[in-house]
Chain A
Amino acid sequence: MKKLVAVVLVLCVVSGALFAGGAQEGKDELVVGTSAGFRTFEYREMGEVTGFDIDLMKAIGEEMGREIVVRDMDFDALIEAVSTGTIDVVAAGMTITDERKERVDFTEAYFVADQAALVREGSDLNLNSPSDLNSSDLTIGVQNDTTGAFWVDENASNAKIQKYGKYIETIQDLENRNLDVIVLDKPVAEAFEKNRPTEMIFVIPTDEAYGLAVKKGSPMLDDLNSALKKVKNSDTWDALIKEYFGS
């Protein structure tokens, strides 16, 4: 009996230690929120979250003299999380939009992209331009709370629209024939096109810019912007672009 008590106590102490380790949200740490599953920008490899956004934030963190801590959550939870201070900054390929600007502040843009339409390879839908998407015969899949979702809500409201937490879920349903087409950021569409039996049929020019998001009125904004500027002008930036986007 006494041995049992001892074992329980030891386990408690060990857990307590792990607990405490996590309990310090170090003042020097920069908590970065992201949503793994956005190919090349953030994804999981060997169990860790990595990608363009992560490496970018590491470089920015270095400039700011702070270590980053990455928290992986659902995309649509990120804005709420940064607004309450659960995370310090969002780095998740998040497009700068006016609606979002009402809830968060963005840094200068660090990447420009368009949306694209993705279908199953060999599907015969005769869709040639964005306006063709506005058809009640179509079921369109999007990731919730993304600019792709907003675009579809506005421009393809006749179609049946299904919203998902992560992109991979849309791909699954596309292949299951539960969806006809997916609207998503072009870089991700290109990645999927290379690896799955899918086809990017056209680009929806939206000229979106990705920015890093912080709480409205956050004093960190200026520091982030200057760090971002420094990184963009450095060799690190070129190396990143080369590593993740080829050319």
Chain B
Amino acid sequence: MEDLGQFLLYSAIAVGKGALVTIVVTVASLLLGFVLAVPLSIGRTYGNRPIQFLIQLYEGFFRGTPHIVTLFIFYFGLRHVGELFGNPAFQIAIPPFPAAVLALGITSSAYQSLIFRSSIQAISRDQYNAARSLGMGRWQAILTIVFVQALRLSIPGLTNEATIVLKDSPITYLVAIPEMLTQARGIIDSAMGKVFFEVLIPVSLIYFGLFVLSNKLFEMLDEKLKIPGFELERR
């Protein structure tokens, strides 16, 4: 290679851009998952039969379907949705970034809902009863007393979920998202295959670094929200 320095610089820039895309896709998907999982978990625990059933279907579908398939449905599949009603011209055309975030985010919401639900159930019923006996309404008690505590209990589960979404993010290359793995392949390509592990190993290390960073952030969050002396409701 004529200029090793230049190659390294260009590669670093490429991988850097890819890492940024990976981070944004991961964070956006986790957030979407979170925002959806809160009502889903509450609805599934406290809602009436029809609501519980619907949420169960939703969770089952997105937990049971391979994430790549979900991704395809949102990006490619929805463009064919008109054919179902005999109107092929009708398409739901979602561009790559929203499609990726929707697919990963909605899938994550199904898993996060499960995490929140089990945390909610770990909170003793008397917490809710005590809140109601003070005169709090049903939803006030659920949200401000039960769910708040459930969130804190959910932090380990969420730490794990963040890792899973991060490791899922490379599949978005299939819908033209230039995330880190795509960039790595691009570099290998540009170097005519002269480098391979020299690229993949640093990239793996960066994924690992992101994993460590994510864990650290959740650890800090856990520390900040810690309730003195309290682990899990013992009763």
Which A residues have a C-beta under 8 Å from some C-beta of B? 1, 4, 8, 11-12, 15, 18-19, 22-25, 33, 36-37, 39, 43-49, 71-74, 77, 80-81, 84-86, 166-168, 171-172, 175, 191-192, 195-196
A86 to B76, CA, bound (A): 8
Q: Is the CB of A172 within 8 A of B196?
A: yes
Counting chain B residues whose Cβ lies within 8 A of the other chain, the interface size class is: 35 or more
B63 CB → nearest A CB, Å? 23
From known contacts A36-B189, A37-B189, A86-B79, infer whether A22 and B183 are also in contact, taking CB-CB under 8 Å: no
Q: Is the CB of B192 within 8 A of A191?
A: yes
B101 closest partner in A (C-beta): A19
Which residues of B are found within 8 Å of A36, using beta-carbon distances? 186, 189
A24 to B178, CA, bound (A): 18
Q: Is the CB of A12 within 8 A of B192?
A: no
Q: Is the CB of A166 within 8 A of B174?
A: no
- Kindly state whether residue B116 has any CB partner on chain A within 8 Å: no
B18 closest partner in A (C-beta): A47
From known contacts A15-B31, A47-B17, A86-B79, infer whether A37 and B185 are also in contact, taking CB-CB under 8 Å: yes
From known contacts A46-B10, A46-B13, A47-B183, infer whether A18 and B189 are also in contact, taking CB-CB under 8 Å: no
- Kindly state whether residue B80 has any CB partner on chain A within 8 Å: yes
Q: Which of B10, B93, B96 has the most CB of A within 10 A?
A: B96
Q: Is the CB of B192 within 8 A of A85?
A: no
Known: A47-B186, A85-B93. 20 other contacts (CB 8 A): A4-B225, A15-B24, A15-B27, A15-B32, A15-B101, A22-B95, A23-B94, A23-B97, A39-B192, A43-B190, A44-B14, A45-B186, A46-B14, A47-B16, A47-B178, A73-B174, A166-B189, A171-B192, A172-B193, A196-B192
